[in-house]
Amino acid sequence: MVRIGIIGAGRIGKVHITSISTRIKDAVIKTVADPYMNEETKRWAKSMGVAHVTKDYKEIIDDPEIDAVLICSSTDTHSPISLEAIRAGKHVFCEKPIDHDVEKIKEVVAALEGTGLKYQVGFNRRFDHNFEAIQQAVAAGKVGKPQVIKITSRDPEPPGIDYVKVSGGMFLDMTIHDFDMACFLAGCDATEVYVQAANLVDPAIGEAGDVDTAVITLQMENGAIAVIDNCRKAVYGYDQRAEVFGSEGMISISNDSQSRAVLSNSEGVTAEKPMYFFLERYMEAYGKEIAAFIDAIENKKETPLNVMDGLRPVLMGLAAKKSYEEHRPVQISEIN
């Protein structure tokens, strides 16, 4: 049985608490920490079988009975808490991104060396049934040599401006999942990033110094070209699709919806909208990523994603930022 401490009980912390208490048999949550822990969260955590709640995450770090921590707090805490947890000998599951600063991620890489501890990063989309199917087909050679990878990733609505200001910008906050997906589908790293981006959804996002709409092209190491199109607002819901075109064929996935029902009448033929957002679309995937982390600890296996998988998309995000600012293709080697 793996004993877990969860740091951060916001949106994603609650997702992982729910998964562990409802569907993972080999793990138990001993403590949940959040400085804004209130009575409502406390009651809810108890209802999920959590033994103890606290406002101070150091109680988790200092608890010798806790084997693994899930870092689900705000992004600026990820790398410092990772270092503390590793030094305390705990396995770590860290939400994306590990940090916006490459040097700080490298400190985490160095701290892990020789410890034998597991470190997994929260790129949950790899565990989604659709993305998993497309990746497995490509890896099995079913489309031949990949030539064009297309990823569409649009949110149903933009986050609040306060969030935008601390998010690190769209490329490091949102596109980071798509950068990971491009590498996952291609089976290799990217060497070059080129961005065309704009502020078309909400002028306040532009005033905060960010973009909300982008087309990003990537040169992948294996020769394939990847295209990501992003928008912070799609009026029809969470739009998450991908296609891989290769020398022997093409494979694509469409959105998940609540049902496959299609209504045909005198006004037209209508299907359901895509599921609303990530909590609806990826709940199953969030459960599977934590199950894989627990499995790696219990059965002494490699985690499906490691700290280097956390570094790569940050390098791509920083290259994207530079490409947008300098209006030119940027090599990953310029960042790393």
Ligand X SMILES: NC(=O)c1ccc[n+]([C@@H]2O[C@H](COP(=O)([O-])OP(=O)(O)OC[C@H]3O[C@@H](n4cnc5c(N)ncnc54)[C@H](O)[C@@H]3O)[C@@H](O)[C@H]2O)c1
Which residues contact ligand X (rule: CB under 6 A)?
A: 7-13, 33-36, 57, 72-75, 77, 95-96, 122, 124, 278
Q: Outline where 157-221 has alpha helix (H).
A: 161-166, 170-173, 175-186, 203-207
Question: CA–CA separation, 310 vs 126, rounded Å?
Answer: 13
Report yes or no: 83 and 111 within 8 Å, Cβ to Cβ.
yes
Closest to ligand X by CB, 33 or 193: 33
Q: Omega before 97 cis (within 30°)?
A: yes
Distance CA 17, CA 249 (A): 41
In the complex, least distance from residue 77 CB atom to ligand X, rounded to whole angstroms: 5
Q: Which is nearer to ligand X, 54 or 147 (CB)?
A: 54
Strand, helix or coil for residue 325: helix
| Nearer CB in complex with ligand X: 72/186 | 72
- Whole-number minimum distance, CB 96 to ligand X, in Å? 5
Cα(72)–Cα(31) distance, rounded to whole angstroms?
Answer: 13
The nearer residue to ligand X, 71 or 143, going by C-beta atoms, is 71
Residue nearest to ligand X (CB): 10
The CB-of-293 to ligand X minimum distance in angstroms stands at 13
Of 51 and 148, CB closest to ligand X = 51
Close Cβ partners of 140 (under 8 Å, ≥ 6 residues apart): none
Tell me the closest approach of the beta carbon of residue 173 to ligand X, in angstroms: 6
Nearest approach in angstroms of CB 32 to ligand X is: 9
